[in-house]
Amino acid sequence: MNVIKMRGEAGRPAIPDITNCRKSYTHKHTGGNMANQPKSGYEIRADLLNLAESLIINNIENERQTIYSWNDNHAESKKEIPLRTYTAQDVIETAKQFNDFVIEK
């Protein structure tokens, strides 16, 4: 049996001295490959919603970056940066478009 001794200096908390401790730890794989498990309908819908929201956010950010780039290069005719927002309904509609594409035969 390995015993872990504590060592420390005055005024400092003791830390384990593991210099002579040679215990190895292994993990036994007991389950199947999770990648092979089919996703539930809830998981698929959640993935589609996350993908849809990411797409909307990226599109908004791309529009903003395009305007920033224009403004940096055209000081005499700067464009105003619009305040773009999106709603839950926007995300749902985009997710439905993804779903329609996936189930299309």
Q: Report the mean per-residue pLDDT for the chain.
A: 80
What is the rounded CA–CA span in Å between residue 102 and residue 76? 46
The answer to whether residue 13 is domain-embedded is: no
pLDDT digit string, tens, across residues 44-86:
999 999 999 999 999 999 999 999 999 999 888 999 888 899 9
Question: Is residue 70, in this structure, part of any structural domain at all?
Answer: yes
Copy the structure tokens of residue 52: 């849809």
Number of domains in the chain: 1
Answer yes or no: is 8 within a domain.
no
- The parent domain of residue 77 ranges over 37-105
Rounded to whole angstroms, the Cα distance separating 90 from 48 reads 13
